[in-house]
Homo-oligomer: A and B are copies of this chain.
Amino acid sequence: MEVRNRYVAIRRHIEGAPTEVDFEVREETARWSPDSGEVLVRNLYLSIDPYQLNRMKRSSASHLAVDGILPGQRIAAYAAGEVVASASPEYAAGDVVAGVLGWEDYTLFTPSPAVLMSKVDASASASAAAGGFPLSHHISALGTSGMTAYGGLFEVCRPAKGDKVFVSAASGSVGSLVGQFAKLAGCYVVGCAGTKAKVDLLKDKLGFDDAFNYKEEPDLNAALKRYFPDGIDIYFENVGGEMLEAALANMNTHGRVAVSGVISEYTGAGRRAAPDLMEVIYKRITIRGFLAWDFLPRFAEFNAVIGEWIREGKVQVVEDVSDGLESVPSAFAALFQGQNVGKKLVKLA
């Protein structure tokens, strides 16, 4: 079988903030044959994640853990789609799957643990009451964003009831879940975001105890002192730069920092945090980096809990959906301008 496949590629390695012109939509013919062992998927929802920028640079620490992306190449990405043809006994045409696919109309994959593929029940009968979820959830709260938030909070930070938790980029795909999970763990949770609408969302819809617009705070250190008069026990780091410096200055003894992402630093080394290591020593702070993939063996376990919370209405899933493959470059660039609210997705026709 042959299908005409459109895919998004970078025109050149990216340094600094990405813009639409860094990308192009290319076409190729994707060939599937019954003896290939491959599965052909028509993609339905694509995940748009900030970390992908690090793969698009000429070199970056990310290249150690994830393959770098070359100009003109297909871009692997978490996505959901429908199986069109399968040469694997594990999948059949019509199956709906979520896993590592790509920023493209169709993806061929060979089943292996590395593609993290799972079949999802996205039939019309899969109502919330029957245990089903909108397909998009499988690449947001029930995908790598959920795994990052759950693993990062519960495994890396180990929150105790009453802990004071600060979440940066709190209205983003991961932050919005971390804050809600921390509330369910009995913590006091404050988030920061970059617009009034996002701050309102955190407070009014997502149940954060408080939230603030960091762009309106000339002194982040003073702002955190105001929001955390008793100090911060856990900082879930999505931002980097001076936000980390301010968080450390306000942390309590034995504070924990889970470094999930540092979006403010992705676009330039000049934005790096220069944390006061004396805070780290005297407060015995632990700063730990992690990747969602570290929790792969527990993906099903995490998802069972998150899914139950969503069903019970205890966790709200915030998604920000653009339409059409050609919107991928603008959707991606918008992440770095803070334009998304919740998980950024692109829906294909």
Binding site for B on A (CB under 8 A): 54, 60-62, 64-66, 237, 240, 244, 253, 259-262, 265-266, 269, 272-291, 294
- A272-B276, A277-B265 as given contacts; A282 in contact with B244, CB under 8 Å: no
Q: For residue A289, which residues in chain B have a CB less than 8 angstroms away from its CB?
A: 277, 279-286
- How far in angstroms is the closest Cβ of chain B from A269? 7
- How far in angstroms is the closest Cβ of chain B from A199? 25
Whether A61 contacts B275 by the Cβ 8 Å rule is no
A274-B274, A286-B287 given. 15 additional CB < 8 A pairs? A61-B281, A64-B253, A64-B283, A259-B277, A260-B281, A262-B278, A262-B281, A266-B278, A272-B275, A272-B276, A273-B275, A283-B289, A284-B294, A285-B288, A286-B289
Q: For residue A278, which residues in chain B have a CB less than 8 angstroms away from its CB?
A: 54, 60-62, 262, 265-266
Whether A277 contacts B281 by the Cβ 8 Å rule is no
The distance in angstroms between the C-alpha atoms of A291 and B282, with both chains bound, is 7
- How far in angstroms is the closest Cβ of chain B from A130? 38
The distance in angstroms between the C-alpha atoms of A284 and B259, with both chains bound, is 9
Q: Which residue of B lies closest to A266 (CB)?
A: B278
- How far in angstroms is the closest Cβ of chain B from A31? 34
Q: For residue A290, which residues in chain B have a CB less than 8 angstroms away from its CB?
A: 281, 284
Most interface-central of A60, A61, A240 (chain B CB within 10 A): A61
Q: For residue A265, which residues in chain B have a CB less than 8 angstroms away from its CB?
A: 277-278
Q: For residue A279, which residues in chain B have a CB less than 8 angstroms away from its CB?
A: 61, 289
Most interface-central of A54, A274, A279 (chain B CB within 10 A): A274
- How far in angstroms is the closest Cβ of chain B from A172? 15
Whether A283 contacts B253 by the Cβ 8 Å rule is no
Q: Which residue of B lies closest to A265 (CB)?
A: B277
- How far in angstroms is the closest Cβ of chain B from A175? 15
- How far in angstroms is the closest Cβ of chain B from A262? 4
A-B contact pairs, 21 of them (CB 8 A): A61-B276, A61-B278, A61-B279, A61-B282, A62-B278, A64-B282, A65-B253, A261-B281, A262-B277, A262-B278, A265-B277, A272-B277, A274-B274, A275-B275, A277-B289, A279-B289, A282-B289, A283-B289, A284-B294, A285-B288, A287-B287
- A64-B253, A253-B64 as given contacts; A284 in contact with B277, CB under 8 Å: no
Q: Which residue of B lies closest to A285 (CB)?
A: B289
Q: For residue A276, which residues in chain B have a CB less than 8 angstroms away from its CB?
A: 61, 269, 272
The distance in angstroms between the C-alpha atoms of A286 and B155, with both chains bound, is 13
Top 9 A-B pairs, shortest CB-CB distance? A280-B289, A281-B289, A61-B278, A272-B274, A287-B287, A65-B282, A274-B274, A262-B277, A61-B282
The distance in angstroms between the C-alpha atoms of A269 and B66, with both chains bound, is 35
The distance in angstroms between the C-alpha atoms of A262 and B281, with both chains bound, is 9
